Amino acid sequence: MFRSILAATIVLYAFLPGAVSAAPQIMGLVATAEPAPMQCAGGQCSVLLSAFCLQEKRLPPDLDSAYLPAEAGQVILIATAADGQTTRLEAGGLVEFRSRYGYTAIQAHLPLERLAGVWPVSLALEVKPRAALLPVTAPGDPDPLTAEETATATGPWRLAAEVVMEGDREGAASARATMRLINDLPLKGDIRSGEREPLWRRVAGGAPVLARQTFDACIRSVDQAVGYPLRRCLEERHEKLQVQNTREFWRSLGGS
């Protein structure tokens, strides 16, 4: 019953950009080893997803630029009911994807009203391997994406990105661990100092040394500042890690 109610209420929402401009970069989404839990408040649910640029020569997205999965089934919404039953749904027709920090992160947002009054006890997003996002563009785009560049970016380039962005290299593994930490922290406010080490052990234990250094650096920064939550610091550190990882990916393609 839970599955049938949700499936019957899926509506494809159009995301309308502002002023018409050239399409920004196609972005890759980093695959999740485990579904990324969404946090819900006031009928709105969200989660931050690690991303990267697949097109070095195109401009990066503006803040809050709208995107959609390049193919159905690349991002899955997992809803868990009170009785433990899980329902897997194509996220592209329900979830909004918008750029957060240039090309390094995507904010995935879901108004619960789109589930037609069915309120699951938890929601999570699963990003499949080789997932990519296409920018939502308006008619009149002066430099629209061509079929050829879209096929190249989401095909061979996205395949090549797996080695750099989703492999075992320290930079990529550290970025993934940092994002897991981010999504386990509250959207507002902060955790107590005594909760930090348990958070690390629960979410990122076994991560590379660079990830631990990133975490410890943020703890020092938070302790020395007023009103600077751990989540914000980790988001900023994740951005730097992903910029470095993306540049490494571009170099692997023969870019700068």
pLDDT tens-place string over residues 40-67: 999 999 999 999 999 999 999 999 999 9
119: in domain: yes
* Same domain for 181 and 103: no
Domain boundary among 111, 145, 179: 145
Which sign does the torsion angle of CA 178, 103, 239, 57 carry? positive
151: in domain: no
Would you state the pLDDT for residue 75?
98
* Same domain for 182 and 137: no
* Same domain for 113 and 25: yes
Instruction: Quote the number of domains for the chain.
Output: 2
Residue 54 and residue 32: Cα distance in Å, rounded?
A: 18
* Same domain for 204 and 107: no
230: in domain: yes
Which letter, b or e, does each residue of 54-64 get, where b requires 16 or more Cβ atoms within 10 Å of its Cβ?
Answer: bbeebeebeee
* Same domain for 132 and 30: yes
* Same domain for 199 and 140: no
156: in domain: no
Containing domain of residue 22, as a range?
2-145
146 or 9, greater pLDDT: 146
161: in domain: no
What are the CA-CA distances from residue 124 to residues 127, 166, 211, 249 (Å)?
A: 10, 20, 23, 28
SS3 120: coil
* Same domain for 131 and 20: yes
Would you state the pLDDT for residue 5?
39
User: pLDDT by residue (tens digit) across 153-206?
Assistant: 999 999 999 999 999 999 999 999 999 999 999 999 999 999 999 999 999 999
